[in-house]
Amino acid sequence: MSAQSQPALVARDIHKSFGQLEVLKGISLDAHEGDVISILGASGSGKSTFLRCINLLETPDSGVVTVAGETIVMRKKRGGGMEAADHHQVDRIRAELGMVFQSFNLWSHMTILQNVIEGPVHVQKRPRAECIEEAEALLEKVGIAGKRDFYPSHLSGGQQQRVAIARALAMRPKVMLFDEPTSALDPELVGEVLKVMRALAEEGRTMLVVTHEMGFARNVSNRVMFLHKGLVEAEGSPKELWEGSKSERFRQFVSSQHH
């Protein structure tokens, strides 16, 4: 699957505690180009926290994150814990990672088009005309053509999420991070978003997807990681996990997800 010598994304031994509660007890992940990795687990297993540690929306207490060969430099913080040593580096790496949130998080004071071009124009400083052209192509790709001057509050949940995906794609990211992208949607709107995600996977995008959608995990991703209480309980290809997993917990988890 991957012909690169260098993985697109490496997370090594990530630990994270919130106060007394240790949520991540040492999670590691290697993502090669084209990998579509589903991250599964019960609530409280730490899967969203792990994803957010990758683009430093949460700061890991220990561990290393490397994106396209560049390691995020950390240093000790006064009063304990770690922090990023170089904010510019963090901003730069975040621009190479595209994140899609559970609650879409489109900027409510901007139109759809403005949302999609905001990053390319102001963060990447690309020429505006080029960004607009690309944005419109992306909006068409995710199925929201013709709504460029609408505001987020005028769209349905499914539409907003698809715009959020276009917004992330507009940054031409190396890796896409999805944090439970369909969990906040009404059931009938989930399908349209999964369809877009599937198309991206088939294009060869590198994707990390925290999800409850078993169908996606089993049929679209090429690797699955199952977290339990802050540790990796099972890992492998969907076939390995669904058909031959030695983990009792995983089997219990799958059967509890009624899909």
Partner 1 sequence: MTTDLASLIELLGFSDKGWGLQFAYATLMTLAVTVAALLIGAVLGALVAWAKLSKSTAANIAGDAYVTVFRGVPELLIIYLFYFGGSTVVTGIGSLIGLDIGMPGFLAGALGVGFICGAYQSEVYRGAFLAVSRGEIEASKAIGMHQFMRFRRIIAPQVLRFALPGLGNVWQLSLKDSALVSVTGLSEIMRQSEVSGGSTGRFFLFYIFGGVLYLILTSFSNQVFNRAEAHFGKSLRRSVGSA
Backbone angles phi, psi at 226, to 5 degrees: -110, 120
Spatial distance between the Cα atoms of 165 and 155, rounded to a whole number of angstroms: 14
Closer residue to partner 1 (CB): 97 or 131: 97
Closest CA to 2 of 44, 28, 34: 34
| Binds partner 1 (CB under 8 A): choice among 97, 135, 163, 189 | 97
Is residue 158 within 8 A of residue 193, CB to CB? The reply is: yes
Cα–Cα separations (whole angstroms), residue 63 to 28, 66, 71, 95, 234: 9, 10, 11, 21, 20
| Binds partner 1 (CB under 8 A): choice among 1, 85, 123, 145 | 123
| Binds partner 1 (CB under 8 A): choice among 41, 63, 119, 158 | 119
Spatial distance between the Cα atoms of 172 and 100, rounded to a whole number of angstroms: 14
Closer residue to partner 1 (CB): 153 or 256: 153
Q: What is the DSSP string of 91-145?
A: HHHHHHEEEE-TT----TTS-HHHHHHHIIIIIS---HHHHHHHHHHHHHHTT-T
Shortest separation between residue 118's beta carbon and partner 1, angstroms: 7
Closer residue to partner 1 (CB): 167 or 228: 167
- By CB under 8 A, the residues from 30 to 89 that bind partner 1 are 55, 57, 87-88
Shortest separation between residue 151's beta carbon and partner 1, angstroms: 5
Shortest separation between residue 167's beta carbon and partner 1, angstroms: 8
Binding segment toward partner 1, per CB under 8 A, in 13-21, 38-46, 118-126, 234-242: 118-126
Binding mask 152-171 for partner 1 (x = CB under 8 A): -xx--x--x---x--xx--x
Count of positions on this chain that bind partner 1 (CB under 8 A): 37
Closer residue to partner 1 (CB): 8 or 254: 8
Dihedral sign for Cα 207, 208, 211, 217, please: positive
CA 85 from chain centre, in angstroms, equals: 23
Backbone angles phi, psi at 200, to 5 degrees: -65, -40
| Binds partner 1 (CB under 8 A): choice among 32, 48, 104, 221 | 104
Residues in contact with partner 1 by CB under 8 A are: 55, 57, 87-88, 91-99, 101, 103-111, 118-119, 122-123, 151, 153-154, 157, 160, 164, 167-168, 171, 184
